[in-house]
Amino acid sequence: MLFDTAPKTNKQDLYNRETELEKFKAAIEHSSLIVIQGLRRTGKTSFMNVALRETQQPYIILDIRGLPFNPSQADIVRRIETAFNTLNKKWFSQLQTALRPIKGVTILGNSISLDWSKEGIDFATFFDRVNTWAEEKDTKFLLAFDEIQLIRGDKNLIRLFAHIIDYNQNLCLIVTGSEIGLLFGFLGLDDPESPLYGRHYTEIAIRNFEESESKHFLITGFAQIETKIQEEVLGYAVEKLNGTVGWLTSFGARCRENQEATKAQVDMVASEGGKLARSEAEKIAQYSRRYSVVLNYLAAAKEASWSQIKSIMEAHENRSLTNSTVSDILNKLVKASLIEKNDEYSISDPLLKHGLLENPLPER
């Protein structure tokens, strides 16, 4: 059912991601690193779940929510252990024989336990073994990390990624992330100092739906829940929710609960979406109030040129600023996917705009 709010796991519930699924399928054959990228609630987790399942190959998903910013080796080991214990039993029973001889690995019945003390497991050895096993089985072993940017400052994990990419041809790393800047900041794909610098990767962008797709998504979803929606409400929802599948789904779920589809429900979802978008913008605003000044201004102004923004910032601080100061702020906002630069600068996400207009970021 399309309006089920949990991340999707079945292909039949995943609307219109055929091209991306094809790309994913092709990529695991030749790529060691796949980056699934998209804004919040565009359906990255859902896409990853379905894509992994469709491959019919062994995979594990590492859930890294709730890990501290700078996780310890023990934290990571425990997550890997948990992930291996969710591996499809068909693969697990074959793999356990291969893993048993490794120092720090204990197999107890149908579960694996890893020694997380300092002298415990060596992950390079561990994954080399998984790789050899996959090679023998003529398959790929897929290792997926959802919202990878949640871990920052952990160089061990990144070094392990580099090792896997360089030596383990039958392993494939898959990561998802919402803010491209932070994602690349974490992976360091364009940072010469990073262990992953210069590595080839495949990027799969999870995009917002076009208007016609949003409309068809809602019509199909409403038919499934056997609820009527008026043409006018439909148009209103399509316009306000901007093709973000997560918000379209929330709207549908809400209508299902209340047994009716109204504009007021669209507004409630838009307001919820606006708050979430704003809270993400607030994170960057904590580094400098200048970000708040620019974002608040663009929320109200629709779009503005570089020099208009410079004047606004100068007026706010009552002094002149260097060109590089202004460019630096704007570039970081673009990198964080909060604003967009075409001819002029603008906020592309109407929900973020909505959230900022409802409750501007503090400028002092």
- Contact assessment for residue 254 and residue 268, using Cβ atoms and an 8 Å cutoff: yes
DSSP helix, strand, coil percent of the chain (3-state; round to 5): 55, 10, 35
37 is an interface residue for Mg ion by CB under 5 A: no
Quick one: which H or E segment has residue 313?
helix 306-317
Q: Using CB distances below 5 to 8 A depending on partner kind, what does residue 38 bind out of Mg ion, ligand ADP, none?
A: ligand ADP
177 is an interface residue for ligand ADP by CB under 6 A: no
> How many CB atoms sit inside 10 A of residue 102's CB?
16
Least Cβ distance, residue 248 to ligand ADP (angstroms): 8
70 is an interface residue for ligand ADP by CB under 6 A: no
> Within positions 113 to 152, which residues make up the interface with ligand ADP, using CB under 6 A?
none
| Planar angle of CA 343, 346, 348, nearest 5 degrees | 115
Q: If we measure between CA atoms, which residue out of 289, 240, 287, 290 comes closest to residue 262?
A: 240
45 is an interface residue for Mg ion by CB under 5 A: yes
Q: Using CB distances below 5 to 8 A depending on partner kind, what does residue 46 bind out of ligand ADP, Mg ion, none?
A: ligand ADP
250 is an interface residue for Mg ion by CB under 5 A: no
42 is an interface residue for Mg ion by CB under 5 A: no
Q: Using CB distances below 5 to 8 A depending on partner kind, what does residue 8 bind out of ligand ADP, Mg ion, none?
A: ligand ADP
Nearer to ligand ADP, 15 or 145 (CB): 15
Least Cβ distance, residue 149 to Mg ion (angstroms): 12
Residue nearest to ligand ADP (CB): 43
46 is an interface residue for Mg ion by CB under 5 A: no
Cα–Cα distance for residue pair 162/202, rounded to 1 Å:
15
221, amino acid identity:
G
Q: If we measure between CA atoms, which residue out of 267, 279, 274 comes closest to residue 361?
A: 279
| Strands 141-146 vs 171-177: parallel, antiparallel or unpaired | parallel
Nearer to ligand ADP, 187 or 248 (CB): 248
Nearer to ligand ADP, 183 or 313 (CB): 183
Q: If we measure between CA atoms, which residue out of 157, 177, 190 comes closest to residue 70?
A: 157
32 is an interface residue for Mg ion by CB under 5 A: no
149 is an interface residue for Mg ion by CB under 5 A: no
Nearer to ligand ADP, 43 or 185 (CB): 43
Binding window for ligand ADP (CB under 6 A); candidates: 4-12, 51-59, 167-175, 182-190: 4-12
- Contact assessment for residue 297 and residue 312, using Cβ atoms and an 8 Å cutoff: yes
> DSSP for 9-56?
-SGGGS-S-HHHHHHHHHHHHH-SEEEEE-STTSSHHHHHHHHHHHHT
> Within positions 5 to 24, which residues make up the interface with ligand ADP, using CB under 6 A?
5-8, 13-15, 17
Quick one: which H or E segment has residue 146?
strand 141-146
Least Cβ distance, residue 332 to ligand ADP (angstroms): 22
Least Cβ distance, residue 175 to ligand ADP (angstroms): 12
Cα–Cα distance for residue pair 164/156, rounded to 1 Å:
12
Nearer to Mg ion, 16 or 323 (CB): 16
Using CB under 6 A, which of 46, 96, 292, 337 touches ligand ADP? 46
> How many CB atoms sit inside 10 A of residue 244's CB?
25
Binding window for Mg ion (CB under 5 A); candidates: 19-27, 41-49, 123-131, 185-193: 41-49
Using CB under 6 A, which of 164, 229, 245, 352 touches ligand ADP? 245
Cα–Cα distance for residue pair 160/149, rounded to 1 Å:
16
Quick one: which H or E segment has residue 345?
strand 345-346
Using CB under 6 A, which of 24, 35, 37, 40 touches ligand ADP? 40
Residues that bind ligand ADP (CB under 6 A): 2, 4-8, 13-15, 17, 38, 40-46, 245-246, 249
Residues that bind Mg ion (CB under 5 A): 45
